[in-house]
Amino acid sequence: MRLGGLTYAPLSWRTIHNTRDVTRENLAFMVDGPIAVRELRDLELYELPLRSEAGTPLHDNQRLRSQLAATLAQARYTDCVNDGLNLREVNEIPTSRFGGMLRGRACWSHMLDAEALMRAVAAYCRLQLKALRHHPEPAAMDLVERLDVELTPKGPALPTADDIMALLSQPRGAHAVGIEESVRAEPQRFDATVWVYTGQTQSVALHDALHVHERPGSLAELCAHRQRLRGLLAHLEQAA
């Protein structure tokens, strides 16, 4: 997806040459090289309006240009647009080797007030979080197959039972010192690592499973993460 190439031409004529070069590289990626039978390559090019709602040229109005670019990008990836847009559909077939083309037009009815938009988003998120608090999602119990604990000694290891039996088999004077040291030794300390097995051979350490590597990008991802954590907690309680 490329947004606003020629839109910036009134600000700098070099934009035309830059857009030409980038478009040439994009088209080369589309048609050159081996392409799998099931692979779909598409190139989406979007331009922003050159004039405002009142008919005033945008020129160097960076604030309005940024608003147009942001709203277009956000609208393109909403569920309703993705559901209604079929990238395999074409409404124009040029006489070239670049295949079909889907030509569309983006329209802006009006710009929403930024503060009103933030208030609406905050109210929506508050309702969603309230629903999560009062109606938590069920735990995902099918993700964890088993738990295992790995103990790693800290410091010198104590003599094993076989070591003690080997000392006792020696003459009394020879094994007395070793037996005394074993009796007076401090309790052995261990580092414990809990391994979470999600498959027969696939495992992850508990502290890695609890760590969120990436911030959830949506409420659905957050709910799925909470389900996994609830399932993991249930398995830990059963193993306790």
Can you spell out the DSSP letters for 104-168? Answer: -------PPPHHHHHHHHHHHHHHHHHHHHHSPPPP-TTS--EEEEEEEEESSPPP-HHHHHHHH
Q: pLDDT, tens digit, for every residue of 95-119?
A: 766 667 777 777 777 777 778 878 8
Question: What average pLDDT does this structure show over 153-182?
Answer: 72
User: Of 57, 87, 109, which residue sits at a domain end?
Assistant: 109
pLDDT at residue 124 greater than cutoff 80? yes
Domain presence at residue 225: yes
With bands split at pLDDT 50, 70 and 90, how would you rate the model's confidence at 240?
low
- Tell me: pLDDT of 35 over 80: no
For residue 174, pLDDT over 70 is answered with no
How many domains does the chain contain in total? Answer: 2
**Do 6 and 95 reside in the same domain of the chain?**
yes
- Are residue 156 and residue 99 in the same domain, yes or no? no
pLDDT of 230 higher than 80: yes
Same-domain pairing of 150 and 220: yes
Q: What integer is the mean pLDDT of 35-43?
A: 75
Question: Quick one: tokens of 188?
Answer: 């052995």
Contacts of 228-234 spanning 24+ positions with Cβ under 8 A: 228/140, 228/143, 230/136, 230/137, 230/138, 230/139, 230/140, 231/139, 231/140, 231/141, 231/142, 231/143, 231/144, 232/143, 232/144, 232/196, 232/206, 233/139, 234/139, 234/141
Q: Is 197 exposed, middle or buried (0-12, 13-18, 19+ CB in 10 A)?
A: middle
Q: Rounded to whole angstroms, how far apart are CA atoms 52 and 165?
A: 91
Supply the pTM of this predicted model: 0.43
Residues 168 and 88 in one domain: no
Are 31 and 103 in a shared domain? yes
Which one, of 171, 205, 167, lies nearest residue 183 by Cα?
167
Any domain includes 191:
yes
Residues 84 and 170 in one domain: no
What is residue 191's DSSP assignment?
A: E
In a domain, 40, yes or no: yes
Residue range of the domain that includes 102: 2-109
pLDDT band at 60 (very low <50, low <70, confident <90, very high): confident
Both 7 and 98 in one domain: the answer is yes
- Name the pLDDT band for 34 (thresholds 50, 70, 90): confident
- Helix, strand, coil distribution of the chain in percent, nearest 5: 45, 10, 40
**Is a pLDDT exceeding 70 seen at residue 146?**
yes
Question: How far apart, in whole angstroms, are the C-alpha atoms of residue 76 and residue 91?
Answer: 19
- 127 occurs within a structural domain: no
Higher pLDDT, 175 or 136: 136
Pair (103, 170) in one structural domain: no
Residues 8 and 82 in one domain: yes
Kindly state the percentage of the chain with pLDDT values over 70: 88
Examine residue 75 and state whether it is found in any structural domain, yes or no: yes
| Domain-located, residue 20 | yes
Residue 98's pLDDT is what? Answer: 66
Last residue of a domain, one of 59, 87, 109: 109
Looking at the chain, the whole-number percentage of residues with pLDDT higher than 90 is 0
Helix (H, G, I), strand (E, B) or coil at 94: coil
Cβ neighbors of 9 (< 8 A, separation 6 or more) are 15, 16
Query: How far from the centroid of its chain's Cα atoms is residue 239's Cα?
Result: 30
Residues 32 and 101 in one domain: yes
Q: Residue 38's pLDDT is what?
A: 75
Q: What is the pLDDT of residue 13?
A: 73
Residue 81, in any domain of the structure: yes
Closest residue by Cα to residue 30 from 41, 19, 44, 38: 41
Angle formed at CA 40 by CA 80 and CA 8, multiple of 5 degrees: 65
Burial of 232 (0-12, 13-18, 19+ CB in 10 A): buried
Query: Does residue 140 form part of some domain?
Result: no
